[in-house]
Structure 1
Amino acid sequence: MAWECGIDGCGEVFADVESAVVHQATEHERRECKVCGTVVPDGYLAIRHAFNEHSRAEYVRAYGADAEDVREREELLDEIESEANMETIATELKREG
C-alpha cells in the first residue's frame, strides 16, 4: 500500500507509513496546537497530539471542526497506528535530529 502526504497538497508518495510520517515531521513546518500552544510536527503527529492530549470537544472548539472532521481523523489515526512501527518512526526522527 502506498502512503501519500496530505499536508497542503504535498502529494509525495511513500512505500511505507513510517517514511510518510517521518517526511511530515521533517519536511513540513511545525504547527502550534490551537488548544494548548505546544509546537508539534504537522500531519499524523499533530493529529495524534490533539486527540491524545485533548478532549474531542476541545479539538472541535479550537479548530472549528465538526463530527465528520473528528471521524476522518480518528479513522486516519486508526489506519496509521494499525500499520506503523512506532519504534521505527521514533528512531528515524532521532536520526533526523
Structure 2
Amino acid sequence: MRATFYERTGAARDVLRIGELPDPVPGPGELRVKLQWSGVNPSDVKSRAGLRSPVMPFPRVTPHSDGMGVVDAVGPGVSEARLGERVWLWNGAWARP
C-alpha cells in the first residue's frame, strides 16, 4: 500500500515520508478498510512533532485519525458479509503503527 509515515518525531518537512508499505492483515475480530478518504487531526500532528512524548510508540507510525472507505478484508471471527461494506473510521490509528 502507498502511505505517508514517519520513523522519528520532528517537523513534518523533516520526518514525513511517502512510500510503499506491506498491506496490513486483519487479525481476529478485525477488518481492513481500503481508505478512500483519511483525515489527520491535531492529535496526529502533536504526536508526530514529539509534543506528546519524545518516545515513538512504534518503530513506524502512519498518521491517521478519521476516514472512510470500503471493507476489503476480514480476519477470523468477522463475517465475510462485511466485505464491500462502506464504513466510517474514528480514531483509526489508535494503538496501531
TM-score clears 0.5: no
If asked which structure has higher relative contact order (CA below 8 Å, sep 6+), I would say 2
Point out the structure with max Rg over C-alpha.
2
Shorter-chain TM-score tier:
under 0.3
